[in-house]
A and B are shown apart, each in its own frame.
Chain A
Amino acid sequence: MKLPIYLDNHATTRCDPAVVEAMLPYLTEVFGNAGSRNHAFGWAAQAGVDQAREQLADLIGADPKEIVYTSGATESDNLAVIGVARFYKDKGRHLITTNIEHKAVLDACHALEKEGFEVTYLPVDKEGIVTAAQVADAIRPDTILVSVMHSNNEIGVVQDIAAIGAVCREKGVIFHSDAVQSLGKIPFDVTKLNVDLVSISAHKMYGPKGIGALYVRRGRPRIRIEPLIFGGGQERGIRSGTHAVHQIVGLGKAAELAKAAFTNGEVDRVRGLRDRLWTKLQTIDEVYINGPDPSDRVRRLPNNLNVSLAYCEGEAMMMAIKDLAVSSGSACTSASLEPSYVLRALGVEVELAHTSIRFGIGRFNTIEEIDYAADLVAAKVGWLREMSPLYELVKEGVDLKSISWTAH
């Protein structure tokens, strides 16, 4: 077993060797510009771009013509939200989203507010769920777009996108969903889920960084968007710029492997590792799950675990378990010194938000690594609690809420 162990697969994933292998020729012999229509170098590059489009469309049940390549999910989210808003602004200027969306959606909404759009940020319940009924209630005659992520990167909550999409379809509102964390982990089909726009990222599914896609529905309803990037007219003018052919080929291969994950046992194996980790961590005193219970197969990603280890501050914990690459919602790990807005939106107490640790299990993790991780966390929780004045007070029977703390 090699240390440190990578358990941060929501942040990014390692490129699958098969992805790298598929990409390499496009950095050497097949170097042409896919836009060069009149020679063999261009045709070969175009063939790679086309094949990847088919692979990606196949993963989400789309038509290849509905795939628009982007630089990644940040651009896809921006393009979906801002692109729709600007195209349909004469129809209405109201958008609906949730307060646990990725910053690429939230900050795009904030930018639109400055352009005169109005945005409703729906709250979520204590597990992170937003309901179709909430969306239905929020839709107004001037609503043009609803954006709700399929699964959340921090707490792994999976929304009932099919129901939300049905509401949007019925009311004639365009529906965007960020599916970055879902692909290859839970089934995702654009028709079954009633989505019109879908953000996709390669590097969250064992593909390369710097490439993603936006699914844009072409028929019933046909979605139009205003481009954000102008130039050579690639991607039907929606997204100009020379195709990053090697990256696109990597995205395509990653999509093919993501589809296979449902039939080759990967999804179940990863879920087994996550469940094993959770079972072991539950032997620790005062460990709290953030988000839906991991036994909930519908509403939680199979590869995600987010726990609060009470009385152990998150950054200190990460230093203590430096053999593990994980992440925390603690304020001390963010530049803003604010704890995770996602955990806060769930109503997780600030005290517990500071002690949260997120594990993202992936394709390359092993049972040995999971066991090592669980044992290490348990040992270091003990070590940090020995050092924690809060744990000492609680053990003495003091109610921490009875102390008048001085905020600083």
Chain B
Amino acid sequence: MAYSDKVVDHYENPRNVGTLDKNADDVGTGLVGAPACGDVMKLQLKISDDGIIEDAKFKTFGCGSAIASSSLVTEMVKGKSIAYAETISNSTIAEELNLPPVKIHCSVLAEDAIKAAIADYQKKRAAKLANAEATAAAAKA
């Protein structure tokens, strides 16, 4: 596959490869794709209380463009708000990397990974808030 220089760059020098503590309250983890389809992305976002993405890490099993898409996404969201991250669409990723048509699904997967990571964070946060309220109510009584 003849890839753009940008894909090759992100593939050869992937940004933000790694793992954050998936049990931490301020970390949202998105695991999308399937081994049988040949690509799986894990995206983790560390998010502050005011909704800013302080850190982003990924690990990806997949072709060059899947790795490049996830690497690019970590760069795009770092230091940005959740609200902004949610607006990143697959077409933005595909255009940025100049992905060939047959590889568009890689950018779709990267978009899904962002959404899954944010959803995981919000679920944790909701649980945490509910927990805190319950504790406060118990203290009052």
Q: Do A and B come from one complex?
A: yes
B18-52 interface with A by 8 A CB criterion: 19, 31-42
Chain B CB within 8 A of A408 CB: yes
The answer on a CB contact under 8 Å between B38 and A389 is no
The answer on a CB contact under 8 Å between B67 and A387 is yes
Choose one: B8, B14, B35, B42; the contact of A354 (CB below 8 Å): B35
Choose one: A319, A351, A392; the contact of B35 (CB below 8 Å): A351
B 63-105 binary contact with A (CB < 8 Å = 1; else 0): 1101100000000000000000000000000000000001001
**B residues less than 8 Å from A3 (CB atoms):** none
The answer on a CB contact under 8 Å between A406 and B33 is yes
**A residues less than 8 Å from B63 (CB atoms):** 313-316, 319, 330, 332
Alpha-carbon separation in the docked complex, A388 to B39 (Å): 10
A-B contact count (CB 8 A): 86
A residues contacting the other copy or chain, number (CB 8 A): 30
How close is B117's CB to chain A, nearest CB, in angstroms? 13
Chain A CB within 10 Å, residue with most, of B19, B34, B37, B61:
B61
How close is B135's CB to chain A, nearest CB, in angstroms? 31
**A residues less than 8 Å from B1 (CB atoms):** 315, 332-333
The answer on a CB contact under 8 Å between B34 and A407 is yes
The answer on a CB contact under 8 Å between A339 and B109 is no
Alpha-carbon separation in the docked complex, A408 to B104 (Å): 12
Chain B CB within 8 A of A133 CB: no
Chain A CB within 8 A of B59 CB: yes
Choose one: A330, A333, A392; the contact of B59 (CB below 8 Å): A392
**A residues less than 8 Å from B14 (CB atoms):** 387
Closest to A335 in B: B102
The answer on a CB contact under 8 Å between B64 and A350 is no
Choose one: A311, A388, A405; the contact of B36 (CB below 8 Å): A405
A406-B33, A408-B33 known; A313-B39 Cβ under 8 A: yes
Chain B CB within 8 A of A386 CB: yes
Choose one: B17, B40, B42, B64; the contact of A386 (CB below 8 Å): B17
A387-B17, A389-B40, A390-B35 known; A408-B64 Cβ under 8 A: no
Listed in ascending order, the chain B residues whose CB lies under 8 Å from chain A are 1, 8, 11, 14, 17, 19, 31-42, 59-64, 66-67, 102, 105, 108-109
What are 19 A-to-B residue pairs whose CB atoms are below 8 Å? Answer: A316-B11, A316-B62, A319-B8, A319-B11, A331-B37, A339-B38, A354-B38, A387-B14, A387-B59, A387-B61, A389-B61, A392-B42, A392-B59, A403-B31, A405-B35, A405-B36, A406-B32, A408-B33, A408-B34
Listed in ascending order, the chain A residues whose CB lies under 8 Å from chain B are 311-316, 319, 330-333, 335, 337, 339, 350-351, 354, 386-392, 400, 403, 405-408
